[in-house]
Structure 1
């Protein structure tokens, strides 16, 4: 594997950056991290210099730039087939892809109302029907997978599915959602990961304050 550079946004807020960063850390993949703080007033000038879309995360692999969290994770998983990022079992691998795509394109009510925020004090919010439906769907997915595989993660070992849903763990925690015991245990297991703690501690220490928004 060539040298990899992962460009990310603020660790306190950037849910899309968190996904590939956590997955790569958990897989033991070596990469250089470059953090570019959000600057909405200036239209992310530093980000646009390396990302045609003006968004993060972006992975540089040699001369190639790969954007979008799931594409980045898939790229490194195929280059490191022993990493476990995609489950070995072909049925579980397809399940992981299905869940990751659903996370990529869905759960808009939850994501819009409850942006990832590592240093937000735990406080419940008023929950609309759409948000409740998103949370119920998350719980159904998580509990079904954990029952099927026995855990400790969604599809047995840590996979791309866990990385893609990691920001949801933060959201359900800091916005005070009540979840089942099975889901609560899974959330605690994710938050106890050394890689999670490394990211969270760095996010809490950041000086930047951004208006709450999905990133």
Structure 2
């Protein structure tokens, strides 16, 4: 059976991506949640299960294979099951979807830094620095292009739920947490993501976690 090691559901955006990717596979898996940055974190992440990842989450173990990056987990599971579970069948749509997923994976450092994930909170909109605003606009433009060009088959970015939605799901939660105003089409997409059964499961589980990381508990952190 697959084994997925994740961090706090309240705060760990990369863990959410890895977890959604495994859920999308349809394969059974063991889920292990470890509280990030507690007193035992450094010692724990030096253990054998964490060693290949350099102490980061999520980590997927598949027998002797270990995959420790969210986008790599998507691709591993797509190869293991069915790539159509994750990527559009249409070649042109698939090219755009891959580009968007890769951009999400490697970009938006200002948004990540200034608007940390916390699915248990909702703050008034903070004062946003120009670089953060620029990244938000870019994300909304990508969403609009995907929906307009390839989203006619369903309510997700490329019609059906897939890898791109997995990669952007934590951004949806950030926009909610920090009360970011979005156009109507984006609000509809965000509602679709938040209404997904797996997102509800994740957010509900986050409410029950006993751990608190103070850094993420105020909008000015």
The answer to whether the superposition gives a TM-score over 0.5 is yes
Which residue does 1:51 correspond to in 2? Answer: 50
**Mapped partners of 1:40, 1:91: distance in 2:** 45
**Mapped partners of 2:24, 2:66: distance in 1:** 22
- TM-score, normalization: structure 2? 0.90
Which residue does 2:17 correspond to in 1? Answer: 19
**Structure 1 83/90 Cα, relative in aligned 2: closer, same or farther at 3 Å?**
closer
**Structure 1 85/162 Cα, relative in aligned 2: closer, same or farther at 3 Å?**
same
Report how far residue 84 of structure 1 moved. 1.4
Contact kept? 2:25, 2:77, Cα under 8 Å: no
Higher relative contact order, structure no. (Cα contacts within 8 Å, ≥ 6 residues apart): 1
Which residue does 2:107 correspond to in 1? Answer: 106
Report how far residue 131 of structure 1 moved. 0.6
SS in 1 for 2:3: strand
Report how far residue 47 of structure 1 moved. 3.0
Which residue does 1:90 correspond to in 2? Answer: 91
Which residue does 2:182 correspond to in 1? Answer: 179
**Mapped partners of 1:26, 1:142: distance in 2:** 21
Contact kept? 2:122, 2:176, Cα under 8 Å: no
**Mapped partners of 2:177, 2:163: distance in 1:** 23
Contact kept? 2:5, 2:33, Cα under 8 Å: yes
Which residue does 1:194 correspond to in 2? Answer: 197
Contact kept? 1:10, 1:35, Cα under 8 Å: yes
**Mapped partners of 1:69, 1:120: distance in 2:** 24
SS in 2 for 1:5: strand
**Mapped partners of 1:205, 1:83: distance in 2:** 34
Which digits, 9 at most, give the CA deviation of each residue in 1:26-52, with x for residues without a partner? 342321111111135444322331122
Contact kept? 1:22, 1:163, Cα under 8 Å: yes
SS in 2 for 1:183: helix
- Output aligned runs, 1:144-159, within 5 Å: 144-149=145-150, 150=152, 151-159=154-162
Which residue does 1:161 correspond to in 2? Answer: 164
